[in-house]
Amino acid sequence: MTANDVNVVTSQGVVAGVRGKRTRAGSVSWRGIPFAAPPVAQRRFGAPEPAANWPGVRAADRYGKAEIQRREFTAVAPGKFWPMGEDCLTLNVFAPQRRSSSPRPVMLFIHGGAYLLGTAATPLYDGSLLARDGDVIVVTAQYRFGAFGYLDFSAYSTPERTFTSNNGLRDQVAALEWVRDNIAAFGGDPTNVTVFGESAGGSAVTALLTAPAAEGLFARAISESPALGLVVDAEEAAVFADEFLRLLADPDRKSRTMERTEDPISPEKAQQLLTQASGREIHEASERLSRFAVRAGADAFIPFGPVIDGDYLPKRPVHAALAGQTHRVPLIIGTNKDEANLFAKMMSVLPGADEALLGVKDPEQRAALIAVYNDGHPRANIRMAGDAIFWGAMMPFAEGHMQHSPTFVYRYDYDPKVLRWVGLGATHATELFAVFGAFRMALGVGLAAGEWRNTARITRQVQRHWSVFARTGTPEKQWPQYDDASRSVMVLDVPPHVERNPQSVRREAWHKLHQLVG
């Protein structure tokens, strides 16, 4: 691609991009490119299939649809909501406009949202500034989530129609395959792809590091605030699929148990229900299934997530890492200092101590973990819940992966005054403002108020680490590799610094737990 090219030939046809304006000047974007066929009708709940070719030039100037979810989660501006639909498998490419003498590194981003919500159209995920300032190609992809992407109906397949597990994960693999086959036309290097994501997207990165189908599709990985508990064992996945079908048939159903006492649903009845239901009805049944999972005390606090099916995803990612079974690629992984504050203060969804340790069955293990946090801190439960969801499983994953591949661990501590004033601090997802340069966009200007110099410094710091890592496999030289000897953690702040073996007692307690249950 040259500085004047906006028309690019892909394997499906020609797409016409748009040059950036104002703060995004110096960049080019192509939005809403199909990377798979619409997952509708007979393709609903099935593996992604190749996108159809199109004639002429396709305008790539608008994001594709968001997956069906609550409307408020698709907000892209005050009073403006992004269109939703099942036909959502599109991606977006952002590139610097200036010429390059060699192919650029590629960074494919997977958005978060607890596998329940989110859209690549969210302004925070605009890849223009990261692409321009990091001199990389950025790709953002929309995938299926909720019931559409993460319920396993494979047991209800027939010779006429096959359902597959882990369709959201399969979508992400399909997006990586599209990048492999097409990104060179946009000036990217298909042999140097970094997959990165945040929250559920960071969890997806750890799943991709485990999934056999993803091996060889990326050369590096960045996992931001992964919630490694967002996976579902095969036994619970079967119960969730059964309950979901019954909820589709009877919206007033009030089941409260994971035990199945009713006659099994036949594949023919299941196919009828899953075919005839509208997208909105499927979403509404998904909402009821989420409430059922809480009422019934399921180990999977959220019923949607990658399924440990023994095939497409053989093991829980943290157990695979501890067994040395993740893909051999360099990894950046980390969390934010105040992860849990967002959920405790604004969303009212943070589990209490009992719920946070729901998967810890052994009373002695539960007591040992609670004792680690019983230090009189006024927010001890919030800290423990946040660690249970994010940091507690992330550290064993990092320690397993580091045994065979370069691993770099961070903690994001930067909290501008506005976030401190409202009691959020360096909470969940705030590092994305630095990653994507959003402190300079309308979305982030308010957070940067009175701290323009510091927000510029943290943005430059994080983008340099991310883009240098994408280019070379190591962040900038001041960031040491995580190893058994030092357990060095890069603290991303203004100024940055390195801590050696922070929170060692808590880390060892979580590591022991995951070793025992693995």
Interval 78-107: pLDDT, tens? 999 999 999 999 999 999 999 899 999 999
**What's the rounded Cα separation, in Å, for the pair 183 and 164?**
28
Interval 397-427: pLDDT, tens? 999 999 999 999 999 999 999 989 888 999 9
Residue 256 has pLDDT above 80, yes or no: yes
Task: Specify whether the CB–CB gap between 432 and 124 falls below 8 A.
Answer: yes
In 10 A of CB 130, how many CB atoms? Answer: 28
Examine residue 495 and say whether the peptide bond preceding it is cis (omega within 30 degrees of 0).
Answer: yes
What's this model's pTM, rounded to 2 decimal places? 0.94
The number of angstroms, rounded, from the C-alpha of 290 to the middle of its chain's C-alpha atoms is 19
Interval 231-254: pLDDT, tens? 999 999 999 999 999 999 999 999
Interval 19-47: pLDDT, tens? 998 878 999 999 999 999 999 999 999 99
- Name every residue whose Cβ is closer than 8 Å to that of residue 475 and which is 6 or more positions away in sequence: 332, 408, 464, 465, 466, 468, 469, 490
Residue range 121-140: average pLDDT? Answer: 97
Distances (CA, A) of 237 to 154, 189, 289, 312, 419: 10, 38, 12, 14, 38
The token duo for 67 is 């997956």
β pairing state of 80-81 and 18-19: unpaired
Residue 378 has pLDDT above 90, yes or no: no
Question: 40: closest CA among 57, 58, 52?
Answer: 52
Residue 352 has pLDDT above 90, yes or no: no
Residue range 300-323: average pLDDT? Answer: 95
> Regarding predicted confidence, which is higher, 472 or 350?
472
Active site residues: 199, 339, 428
Three-state DSSP string of 216-276: CCCCEEEEECCCCCCCEEHHHHHHHHHHHHHHHHCCCCCCCCCCCCCCCCCHHHHHHHHHH
**What integer pLDDT is reported at residue 350 of this predicted model?**
47
When pLDDT is cut at 50, 70 and 90, the band that residue 357 belongs to is low
Residue range 460-476: average pLDDT? Answer: 98
Strand partners, 34: 90
When pLDDT is cut at 50, 70 and 90, the band that residue 515 belongs to is low
**What integer pLDDT is reported at residue 516 of this predicted model?**
58
> Regarding predicted confidence, which is higher, 300 or 357?
300
- Name every residue whose Cβ is closer than 8 Å to that of residue 86 and which is 6 or more positions away in sequence: 38, 39, 40, 44, 67, 68, 148, 279
**What integer pLDDT is reported at residue 3 of this predicted model?**
40
